[in-house]
Amino acid sequence: MYLINKSITLLELIISIVFFSIIVLGAISFETFNRRMLNTIDIRTKVVNDLSYILDFVSKDAVLGRGGINNPVFSNLTNGFSIRQDTNMDGNVDRTIGYIRTQNKLERCELNNSNACIAGTSLILTSNLKDFQVNPIGSCRLSLNIEIDSGKTPDIPQVNPHVRLSTTVISSNCSES
């Protein structure tokens, strides 16, 4: 009679450890890849949201813009641009809104007659501004180039998403003739 030994050999144990290690390493690398992609998408979404926030303000301010050939709606400032507005729709300019770049920040504020921000009207639209260029076209349109940068993130140093937008903003309450 033969004795049936129900133990596993060293070779079987090593093979099972190798297979288990391959499965665990595959699961860990899959999880790491997914986390990295999720963080990248999150960062890019924040950059696009910053840009959308700025464009929202500029477009809403441009709708209230009032001007013509002698008094353009959009004007260049030293470090930004201004929009002349008719807020009560009586045909006269009531206020001027400025978009001013200070280092990597873009600030929106109401301007006084000397193009300085009036206290208490300032709003920082973004603190991640990389590039900001404006060019009035005629008296009713504005070419706007904005680049927003997220900065490098400590957990993903090779990911540095930025978004560049070039658009033309048009004021509807304006006449170029």
For the chain, what is the domain count?
1
Tokens representing residue 171 in the block = 């004021």
Cα(140)–Cα(136) distance, integer angstroms = 8
The closest alpha carbon to 146, from 111, 112, 110, 99, belongs to 99
> Can you give the residue range of the structural domain that contains 62?
31-170
| pLDDT at position 39 | 83
pLDDT at residue 103, as a whole number: 85
8 within domain boundaries: no
Domain annotation covers residue 79: yes
Question: Starting from the edge strand earliest in sequence, which strands make up the sheet with 123-126, in order?
Answer: 74-77, 80-85, 95-102, 105-111, 123-126
pLDDT of residue 19: 95
Tell me which residues of the chain have a pLDDT lower than 70: 1-3, 5, 69, 150-164, 173-177
Instruction: Return phi, psi of residue 91, to 5°.
Output: 95, -5
Residue 10 falls inside a structural domain: no
| Statement: the pTM of the whole predicted model exceeds 0.75 | no
What is the structure's pLDDT at 47?
A: 79
What CA–CA distances, in Å, run from 64 to 1, 131, 132?
Answer: 101, 26, 22
Is 69 a member of any domain? Answer: yes
The residue type of 73 is: V
Query: Which uninterrupted H or E stretch holds 63?
Result: helix 10-63
Residue 11 lies in a domain: no
pLDDT of residue 21: 96
Residue 3 lies in a domain: no
- Residue 1 included in any domain: no
Nearest residue to 101 (alpha-carbon basis) of 114, 85, 82, 118: 82
Q: Quick check: is 17 in a domain?
A: no
